[in-house]
Amino acid sequence: MSEKKTVETLVSGGEATAGPPLGPALGPLGVNVLAIVDRINEVTEKYSGMKVPVKIIIDSETKEFEVEVGTPTTSALISSELGIEKGSGAPRTEKVGDLSLDQALRVAKMKGDTLLARDLKAAVKEVLGSCVSMGVTVEGKDPREVQQEIQEGKHDDLIAEDG
Q: What is the mean pLDDT of each run of 10 residues along the chain (163 residues)?
A: 86 91 90 94 89 92 92 91 91 95 94 86 95 96 96 90 51
Label residue 15 left, alpha or beta by phi (over 0 means left) and psi (-120 to 50 means alpha).
alpha
Q: For residue 161, what pLDDT is reported? A: 58
- On whether the CB atoms of residues 22 and 12 are closer than 8 A, the answer is no
Q: Which amino acid is at 88?
A: S
In order of start, what are the domains of the chain with their CATH numbers?
4-69 (3.30.1550.10), 74-151 (1.10.10.250)
- On whether the CB atoms of residues 25 and 36 are closer than 8 A, the answer is no
Q: For residue 67, what pLDDT is reported? A: 94
Q: For residue 163, what pLDDT is reported? A: 46
The number of beta carbons lying within 10 Å of the beta carbon of residue 89 is: 9
